[in-house]
Amino acid sequence: MKTISGLAIILATTFSSSAFAEGDLSRADVQKIAMEMGTDDDGNMYFKPDHLEFETGKAYALVTTNVDDYKHELAMHEVSEKFFTRKIEIESPDGELVAEIKGKIEEVEVGPHQTVEWFFVPIQIGADLDMSCEIEGHKEAGMFGTVTRY
């Protein structure tokens, strides 16, 4: 009886530590996805791509670059409810880390010609959830898209 329970403990420890390693999202490989915010020659504002798909449980960095001379926003209120945001990273133009911001994030403003990296792990599935720029007139000019997590 003692042997069996000892073995059970060893098995439980082995399984739980391997499960823990796989589930340790701070060590997960991060898949980077680039998205551009901008305005075309006809004055239409856009996210490119305007549809993003993520797999739950995987670690992503959404690398969002604003190519315009004015700021844009990336608002993902409903989407971010079902994300575990790890951090936002901001780098200077020469690649030096300016700031890491941690905690729950729903919306990011990106300054002219700047890039922000949003690190997250989708934790619940959902189809065609909204993302948009909430600066007045921008969504109406076409700056919106959808996010699906599967």
Kindly tell me which of 102 and 113 has the beta carbon lying closer to Cu ion: 113
Region near Cu ion per CB under 5 A, out of 12-20, 58-66, 112-120, 127-135:
127-135
76 binds Cu ion (CB under 5 A): no
Using the rule CB under 5 A, which residue among 133, 142, 145, 149 binds Cu ion? 133
Q: What is the residue-wise DSSP string for 28-77? A: SPEEEEEEEEEE-TTS-EEEESSEEEE-TT-EEEEEEEE-SSS-EEEE-H
**By the rule CB under 5 A, 116 interacts with Cu ion:** no
d(CA 90, CA 92): 7
Closest CB 68 distance from Cu ion, rounded Å = 8
Pick out residues in 28-57 that bind Cu ion (CB under 5 A).
none
Single out the residue of 32, 52, 57 nearest to residue 119, CA to CA.
Answer: 32
Binding flag, residue 135, Cu ion (CB under 5 A): yes
Angle (CA) 72 73 76, round 5°: 155
x/- track of binding to Cu ion for residues 54-73 (CB under 5 A): ------------------x-
Our CB check for Cu ion shows the closer of 29 and 136 to be 136
Counting beta carbons within 10 angstroms of the beta carbon of residue 89, is it exposed (0 to 12), middle (13 to 18) or buried (19 or more)? middle
By CB under 5 A, name the binding residues for Cu ion.
72, 133, 135, 138, 143
